């Protein structure tokens, strides 16, 4: 573990022990999982409104391929020291926040009222 900053969210946050780093990772992963649930809820409301937009086989194949590729690339870059696991999870949170906002915007437009998922 490096003494360098493990997250771009708070440049002053220093992690001094493995326990502190583990706690940070647990916090980041928990936040990411909450955002995933919010995006999942958005999709569950969207599908009945636009059923032609989803075909199970294509969704499953696309998701599995994306997950495998992303996991492999992330591991390679972490192993090479390009970024830490904490930085990885911070980026994942930022990306999932954008995804939740996209679902909120799409559903709000379709329903004619503000939809909040998270």
Task: Look at residue 3 in the predicted model and tell me its pLDDT.
Answer: 37
The pair of structure tokens assigned to 35 is: 């955002």
102 compared with 69, residue with greater pLDDT: 102
The pair of structure tokens assigned to 66 is: 């994306």
Q: Mean pLDDT, to the nearest integer, of 57-80?
A: 81
Q: Where are the domains of the chain?
A: 18-111
Q: Mean pLDDT, to the nearest integer, of 10-38?
A: 84
Q: Mean pLDDT, to the nearest integer, of 31-51?
A: 86
Q: Mean pLDDT, to the nearest integer, of 20-31?
A: 92
Spatial CA neighbour of 39 closest among 114, 117, 93: 117
Asked if the model's pLDDT at residue 11 lies above 50, the reply is: no
Task: Look at residue 60 in the predicted model and tell me its pLDDT.
Answer: 62
């Amino acid at each position: 573990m490096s003494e360098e900053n493990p997250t771009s969210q708070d440049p002053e946050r220093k992690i001094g022990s493995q326990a502190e780093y583990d706690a940070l990772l647990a916090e980041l992963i928990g936040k990411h999982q909450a955002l995933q649930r919010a995006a999942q809820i958005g999709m569950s409301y969207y599908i009945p409104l636009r059923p032609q937009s989803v075909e199970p086989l294509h969704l499953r194949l696309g998701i599995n391929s994306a997950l495998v590729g992303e996991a492999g690339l992330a591991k390679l870059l972490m192993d090479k020291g390009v970024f830490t696991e904490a930085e990885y999870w911070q980026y994942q949170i930022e990306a999932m926040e954008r995804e939740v906002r996209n679902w909120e915007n799409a559903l709000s437009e379709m329903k004619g009222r503000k939809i909040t998922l998270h």
